[in-house]
């Protein structure tokens, strides 16, 4: 188990269960917050690897918190497992829609919990250090969340940034729209595939400066998807 921290929102029973089972955790914490905003803030603060999110939180809504987590760049990649009541199918679907990685119905067995956590963590790519990436005169700095061509900063939205980041870390390879949705938007998100086209366009536009047109770095692969390649100019 690679969890360095597991953070449980509003469900002491769950964590006790985990401890009982002997889940090897480098650390864990049980969090209580009166509203989604506070909870979100605390989570950002603690930087856990995994969040067990109780759907039936007394005060705030699990859905609301999950939305916030998925919206924020800082917590977007967080693994979130919902804890839902046994028959609460609507919420489950809703949760998956909003971007929960998985759910567990209460009451759950420790074995199931562990299996889920294992599966989820195996599935997710390990987060590594965020170093700035530089390709063909294009520099992307994850920490400052900015992109430069030579020295001039470029303007772009969060989605375009993430898209570019993915491309810069996965060059010279064609990706289908579906794969891009999966990688950039995240799993369990229903978005039209054509939406990718639009964001590609926005990104290409953003990569244009008076000096260089780095939008050419993003090549369209007909019938397949897109590819980021330095073969296409922007020297």
Partner DNA sequence: CAGAACTGTCATAAAATTGTCACTAAAAAT
Partner DNA sequence: ATTTTTAGTGACAATTTTATGACAGTTCTG
Distance in Å, CB of 215 to DNA, minimum: 8
Interface with DNA (CB under 7 A): 67-68, 71-72, 155-160, 185, 189-192, 194-195, 197-202, 204, 220-225
DSSP run (H or E) holding 174: strand 174-176
Identify any residues that bridge with 154 across adjacent strands, giving them in sequence order.
147
- Nearer to a copy of itself by C-beta: 27 or 153? 153
How far is CA 35 from its chain centroid?
Answer: 22
Given DNA, a copy of itself, none, residue 220, with its beta carbon under 5 to 8 Å by kind, binds DNA
Distance in Å, CB of 12 to DNA, minimum: 29
- Cα gap 172→193, rounded to integer Å: 21
- Cα gap 211→96, rounded to integer Å: 44
Distance in Å, CB of 181 to DNA, minimum: 9
Backbone angles phi, psi at 102, to 5 degrees: -170, 175
* Long-range pairs, 162-166, Cβ under 8 A, ≥24: 162/73, 163/199, 163/200, 163/203, 164/140, 164/203, 164/207, 165/133, 165/140
Interface with a copy of itself (CB under 8 A): 2, 86, 89-90, 92-93, 96-97, 105, 108-109, 111-112, 115-116, 118-119, 122-123, 125-126, 143-146, 153, 157-158, 172-174, 176, 178-179, 181-182, 187-188, 190, 221-224, 227, 229, 231
- Nearer to a copy of itself by C-beta: 97 or 131? 97
Distance in Å, CB of 33 to a copy of itself, minimum: 27
């Amino acid at each position: 188990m690679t969890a360095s921290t597991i953070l449980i929102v509003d469900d002491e029973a769950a964590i006790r269960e985990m401890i009982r089972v002997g889940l090897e955790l480098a650390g864990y914490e049980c969090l209580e917050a009166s509203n989604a905003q506070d909870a979100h803030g605390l989570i950002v603060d603690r930087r856990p690897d995994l969040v067990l999110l109780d759907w039936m939180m007394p005060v705030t809504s699990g859905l609301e918190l999950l939305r916030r987590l998925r919206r924020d760049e800082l917590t977007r990649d967080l693994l979130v497992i919902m804890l839902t009541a046994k028959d609460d199918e609507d919420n489950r679907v809703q949760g998956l829609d909003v971007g929960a990685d998985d759910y567990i119905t209460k009451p759950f067995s420790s074995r199931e919990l562990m299996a889920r956590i294992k599966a989820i963590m195996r599935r997710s790519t390990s987060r590594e250090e965020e170093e700035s990436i530089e390709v063909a005169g294009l520099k992307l700095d994850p920490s400052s969340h900015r992109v430069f061509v030579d020295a001039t900063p470029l303007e772009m939205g969060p989605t375009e940034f993430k898209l570019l980041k993915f491309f810069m870390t996965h060059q010279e390879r064609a990706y289908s729209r579906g794969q891009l949705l999966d990688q950039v938007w995240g799993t369990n998100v229903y978005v039209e595939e054509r939406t990718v086209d639009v964001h590609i366009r926005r990104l290409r536009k953003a990569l244009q400066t008076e000096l260089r047109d780095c939008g050419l770095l993003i090549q369209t692969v007909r019938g397949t998807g897109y590819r980021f390649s330095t073969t296409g100019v922007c020297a």
